[in-house]
Amino acid sequence: MTKERAYFESLALKEEGKLCPQHVPEVYHFDRTMSLIGMRYLEPPHIILRKGLIAGVEYPLLAEHMSDFMAKTLFFTSLLFRSTTEHKRDVAEFCGNVELCRLTEQVVFSDPYKVSEYNRWNSPYLDQDAEAVREDNLLKLEVAELKSKFCEKAQALIHGDLHTGSVMVTRESTQVIDPEFAFYGPIGFDIGAFLGNLILAYYSQDGHADQANDRKGYKEWILKTIEDTWNLFHHKFTALWDEHKNGPGEAYLPAIYNNPEVQLLVQKKYITDVFHDSLGFGVAKMIRRIIGVTHVEDLESIADAGKRATCERRALNLAKTLLKERRKFESISEIVSAIQQF
């Protein structure tokens, strides 16, 4: 990967830090020649969230904090708050991060759906499952649409890799790190990445259960966190929209969208589109974490390959179903019910 990614990581950290300083470590210095970022040290007991999820640790403020980070960083860098002049200027700047965008295009939207030297999976257990993905025409149709949105929809400044390995936590603190993949893209990509990784964590729990702890209670906490994260994001994002509806944003000019009825209509359509985008991107990232190049420790750390395959297959089957049928779902509670059915 190009060393220029450090430049875009520092830009994103600074911008996100201005918008949500409680959940982004401060950058003190950046040296572009050396690709060196000097930033706040996240002291112990901060750990990578994924490690905590594997260990079965509950983080009571996680949904509150992550919804806050996503609502603020995504709203304030979108045309709901900004002029088209400001927006296009920053879109152009982050277009320079093309190499990491191309990497995402390859590993999320391309490789899992073809024979690729980079793909790997839990063989022989998932051989037929991987082949089924490569032969599923409807799945390919849907992932093509998602790839198009990822490449063309410069909706807001997104982190670009917001999985549970890009968040450090304690029970009281949540810090988002590593936005080296940042660019102006679809809002649902960040939301989906986070929720999709929580779903993977949910399905991995049966592989980590033992006689002392069946993990059932922890699985319920993960499901609640998934539901709370979306619902809190929805509430906070629309609250920011309501607060700034007469502000500088040029997506919906007040002179045109000048009555409560039309304002509700555009909000509902916008949020519904973000919800369905989030589902699509989230499950696409799940698929690539099971049969693509880079997997997740949640599943990889399950020692028994057969037990791991059972967890992976449940996640993969849910992901395929949601990718093809996501527009049928109207609420996050329906998604939680679907997760439990697989």
Amino acid of residue 143: V
Percent of the chain at pLDDT exceeding 90 = 99
Cα torsion through 46, 52, 56, 60, rounded to 10: 50
Q: Rounded CA gap, 241 and 270, in Å?
A: 11
Nearest Cα neighbor of 133 from 310, 281, 320 is: 320
**Rounded CA separation 248/3 (Å):** 35
CA distances from 276 to 151, 222, 224, 331 (A): 17, 20, 19, 10
Whether residue 21 is preceded by a cis peptide bond, meaning omega within 30 degrees of 0, is no
Q: Looking at residues 25-45, what average pLDDT do you find?
A: 98
- Confidence at residue 239, expressed as pLDDT on a 0 to 100 scale: 98
**Residue 38 pLDDT more than 90?**
yes
**Averaged confidence pLDDT in the chain:** 98
Asked if the model's pLDDT at residue 26 lies above 90, the reply is: yes
CATH node for 46-341: 3.90.1200.10
Give the count of beta carbons closer than 10 Å to the beta carbon of residue 295: 17
Q: Assign 1 a pLDDT band (cuts: 50, 70, 90).
A: confident
Q: Look at residue 2 in the predicted model and tell me its pLDDT.
A: 86
Segment 68-94 mean pLDDT: 98
Q: What is the pLDDT of residue 305?
A: 98
Q: What confidence category does residue 101 fall into, taking pLDDT thresholds of 50, 70 and 90?
A: very high
Contact 308, 214 (CB under 8 A): no
**219, two tokens:** 């699985």
Question: What is the 3-class SS of the chain, one letter each residue?
Answer: CCCCHHHHHHHHHHHHHHHCHHHCCCEEEEECCCCEEEECCCCCCCEEHHHHHHHCCCCCCHHHHHHHHHHHHHHHCCCCCCCHHHHHHHHHHHHHHHHHHHHHHHHHHCHHHCCCCCCCCCCCCCHHHHHHHHCCHHHHHHHHHHHHHHHHCCCEEECCCCCCCCEEECCCCEEECCCCCCEEECHHHHHHHHHHHHHHHHHHHHHHCCCCCCCHHHHHHHHHHHHHHHHHHHHHHHHHHHHCCCCCCCCCCCCCCCCHHHHHHHHHHHHHHHHHHHHHHHHHHHHHHHHCCCCCHHHHCCCCHHHHHHHHHHHHHHHHHHHHHHHHCCCHHHHHHHHHHC
For residues 175-183, average pLDDT: 98
Tokens of 145: 């649409």
pLDDT at 156: 98
In contact, 293 and 118? CB cutoff 8 Å: yes
Residue 66: what pLDDT?
99
What are the boundaries of each domain within the chain? Answer: 46-341
Residue 225 has pLDDT above 80, yes or no: yes
Q: With a cut of 90, say whether residue 39 has pLDDT above it.
A: yes
In terms of C-beta density within 10 A (0-12 exposed, 13-18 middle, 19 or more buried), how is residue 36 classed? Answer: exposed
